[in-house]
Amino acid sequence: MKTESRIKRFQTETIGGKNLSVDTSFVLFFLAIEFGRTFFSLSVDNIFLFFTLLTVAVLPYFLLSEEKPTFANWLLGRSLIAGFAILLGAMFKQSLGVVLPETFRFLPMTLLIVTAMLCCYIQFYSFFKLRLAK
């Protein structure tokens, strides 16, 4: 019993205070911008991009350890972020070649890759950072 209470205290020390939803929201935002940019072209890439968008929108809810909001509130917030970003991506595609140079079409995917790498780094760092129990 004494060991079990130490383990629970150790888990709350290391896991508590980490907010997984903030950094995955940035990944969701840039992924939705990329999806919105390619929204009107039906291809296999868009189908995979759509399922990836759904996965990034829903999966982090199940990884939260404490203070989980209701699933409906979680999904509403994430879908608002994704919907706004899809709209921005469609507007971004319309502005290419008119307002912005054509070479900027790779900007959403570049920002998505950078954000995803940063998110992975933050998650792995918080996962592997160990503190000794007192």
Whether 121 is covered by a domain: the verdict is: yes
Within-domain flag for 34: yes
Structural tokens at position 67: 């203070």
Ordered DSSP codes for 66-87: SSPPPHHHHHHHHHHHHHHHHH
Burial code (b: 16+ CB inside 10 Å, e: under 16) for 97-124 equals eeeeeeeeeebbeebbeebbeebeeeee
pLDDT above 90 covers a percentage of the chain that reads 49
117 in a structural domain:
yes
Q: What is the pLDDT of residue 18?
A: 54
Tell me if 80 is assigned to some domain.
yes
> What pTM was computed for the model?
0.76
91-107: pLDDT as tens digits: 999 999 899 899 898 99
Is 71 within a domain? yes
**Is 4 inside a domain boundary?**
no
Domain housing 67: 18-128
Q: How many domains in the chain?
A: 1
